[in-house]
Amino acid sequence: MHGKVTITDAGQVRIHNYASPGDGLLANTQLIETPTRIIAVDAQFVLAYADEAVAYAQTLGKPIDRLIISHSHPDHYHGAARFGAPVHALQETIEEIVAAGDETDLPTGTPIPCEGVTPTVVITPGIEIIDGIPFEFVQVTGGEIHTSLVVKLPDQGVLLAADLAYNHVHLWLRDRDFDGWQANIDRLAAEREYNVIIPGHGAPTGPSIWADLTDYINAGRETLGDDGDAYKKEITERFPDYQGASLIDIANAFMFGPKS
């Protein structure tokens, strides 16, 4: 296996976090194992890593009930068809994926087909009981992207923060929404009943992640100007142990244009 699986045991629920290697942008797929089924969250960017996540899920001996897409960045939905399950998302996320249509990710040249990956089941924010387990679906605005989904398991004290949280991985700051991101960090940090935080990129962690993210947001606010190379040099020097410098390169290509 090229990716890495980290297991969080939370009583009736076990969360198997599949993390792709660097060339998969360190994206996470969460496989939430309930008593009789698997609820998958996010689908990987590189199809081979989506296949790895599915192959691992099959070793658990339970069917994949559904795939939930947290937001409309392709590193979270590109592999959706590989899961062989109904694809669920917020209405706004579905509309954004449809609006993108068949496209090519310009920085990497990877084709991103719309067929087979567009969610067909609308998630309504609120609490849904799945296999006897309360899932709370929360629609969040601002930060990395305009609309994203946070999944909470209140009985287990587990919060799946999607791309509102990265753990020692460089943030995607293309939208420069520092205030929106910080507001969401502050809101989630105040929910002290959640002692396991599972990010969209990087390993599962605890509430200390919110202070780390605040430091990074403040650094990004100070250093992200109109020179992508200067920004990358500054931010990687400030956070030398962070992975995912390729995320900075891709975001810079969108913000400043590809290098000649």
Q: pLDDT tens digits for 182-195?
A: 999 999 999 999 99
At residue 106, the pLDDT reads: 54
At residue 101, the pLDDT reads: 79
Q: pLDDT digits over 199-245, tens only?
A: 999 999 999 999 999 999 999 999 999 999 999 999 999 999 999 99
Contact status, residue 255 vs residue 232, Cβ threshold 8 Å: no
Structure tokens, 209 = 């992640």
At residue 94, the pLDDT reads: 96
Helices and strands in the chain: count of H runs, count of E runs:
7, 14
Q: Give the separation between CA 55 and CA 1, rounded to whole angstroms.
A: 10
Worst-scoring range by mean pLDDT, 55-64, 94-103, 172-181, 244-253?
94-103
pLDDT-based confidence at 260, cuts 50/70/90? low
Q: Give the separation between CA 16 and CA 121, rounded to whole angstroms.
A: 23
At residue 100, the pLDDT reads: 84
Average pLDDT score over residue span 50-54: 97
Contact status, residue 108 vs residue 250, Cβ threshold 8 Å: yes
At residue 105, the pLDDT reads: 63
Number of domains comprising the chain? 1
In the predicted model, is pLDDT for residue 99 greater than 60?
Answer: yes
Q: Where are the beta strands (DSSP E) in 20-157?
A: 28-33, 38-41, 64-68, 87-89, 103-105, 110-112, 121-122, 126-130, 133-141, 147-153
In the predicted model, is pLDDT for residue 153 greater than 60?
Answer: yes
Neighbours of 201 (CB within 10 A): 24
pLDDT-based confidence at 257, cuts 50/70/90? confident
Average pLDDT score over residue span 46-68: 97
**Structural domain of 233:** 4-256
Q: pLDDT digits over 60-94, tens only?
A: 999 999 999 999 999 999 999 999 999 999 999 99
CATH code, 23? 3.60.15.10
Query: What mean pLDDT, rounded, does the chain reach?
Result: 94
Contact status, residue 24 vs residue 3, Cβ threshold 8 Å: yes
Q: Give the separation between CA 119 and CA 89, rounded to whole angstroms.
A: 6
Using DSSP's 3-state secondary structure scheme, residue 108 falls into coil
What length is written for the chain? 260
Cβ burial of 146 (10 Å; 0-12, 13-18, 19+) is middle
CA atoms within 13 A on the CB side of 115: 0
Neighbours of 153 (CB within 10 A): 25
At residue 95, the pLDDT reads: 95
In the predicted model, is pLDDT for residue 168 greater than 90?
Answer: yes
Average pLDDT score over residue span 51-68: 98
Q: pLDDT digits over 105-125, tens only?
A: 655 677 777 778 899 999 999
Q: pLDDT digits over 31-40, tens only?
A: 999 999 999 9
Beta strand 38-41 pairing with 28-33:
antiparallel
Average pLDDT score over residue span 15-25: 96
